[in-house]
Amino acid sequence: MEQDKKLYIDDGVHAIQTVTGGSIWDKWLDADALNRLVHHDLLVAMESGHVSLGGMRYFLVQHHYYSRNFTRFLCAIINRLESLEDIRLLMQNLQEEMGIDGDDKLTHADLFQRTLRILGTQPMADPPLSQTVEFTRSIMKFCRSENSVEGLAALCLGAEAIVPLIYKPVLAALKRLNVSDEGLEFFRLHIEEDEEHAVSMLEILRRMTQQVPEAKMIAMQTGRQAIDKRCVMFDAIWREVRELR
């Protein structure tokens, strides 16, 4: 029975690696949820160049309603942590998000809003979809949970681990639309330069769960739920943009 269970786990990790190309998160992600995400019609259409400029504007405005809360998510998790070392590590992430880890740096929010301006739109050009609001509320609820494993898992597995898988098709779509390098910087930054923070977050998650198997199960379930909620939001966005030209 134990051997069968190990084979099942190994098969699941292998399935995930075929999607991620191999990442530090592979043993934590849910293969079915991950496949629903990366093969979502919205991302596939972006990758193949079938989302118009209007469609990308709409997607990015919806994404803004969620992503503008990232520092709030981090603060909510930090408020639940007990280890000063864990708090210090997440504070480093927060400092980078806010652009205070170096001289003359733009915040990640500023970089994203610059992309919107270059594309000819603005943060609240369209109202948030109910699914976008629900996704954002769900992540915040996890981050405010008394069980800090839930919040960290929501941010790690529901965001950090999958950001490159989402942003690569977004970047491909924007390149096809001849968006300038300044408009691409936000996405390139998150695809290429977030590894250090990902490692820090994973180490915290490992410490929290290494002696408690149930805690790791909670983390993986939270990650799956976060990805599923994002897919529901993508469903709603796709219904709005697939006919836009």
Is 5 among the domain residues?
no
Is 14 among the domain residues?
no
Tokens of 205: 């998650």
Percent of the chain with pLDDT over 70: 91
Q: Residue 4: is its pLDDT beyond 90?
A: no
The pTM of this model reads 0.89
| The pLDDT of residue 30 | 93
CB-based burial of residue 177 (10 Å sphere; 0-12 exposed, 13-18 middle, 19+ buried)? middle
* Nearest-10 Cα torsion for 121, 124, 129, 134: 130
Tokens 């193949």, residue located = 48
For 152-198, the pLDDT digits (tens) are 999 989 988 899 999 999 999 999 999 999 999 999 988 876 566 77
Is 6 among the domain residues?
no
Q: Which domain holds residue 93?
A: 26-241
| The pLDDT of residue 6 | 42
Is 189 among the domain residues?
yes
The DSSP symbol for 159 reads: I
Tokens of 1: 């029975």
Give the count of domains, the chain.
1
Tell me the pLDDT band of 107, cut-offs 50, 70 and 90. Answer: confident
Is 170 among the domain residues?
yes
Query: What CATH number is attached to the domain comprising 46?
Result: 1.20.910.10
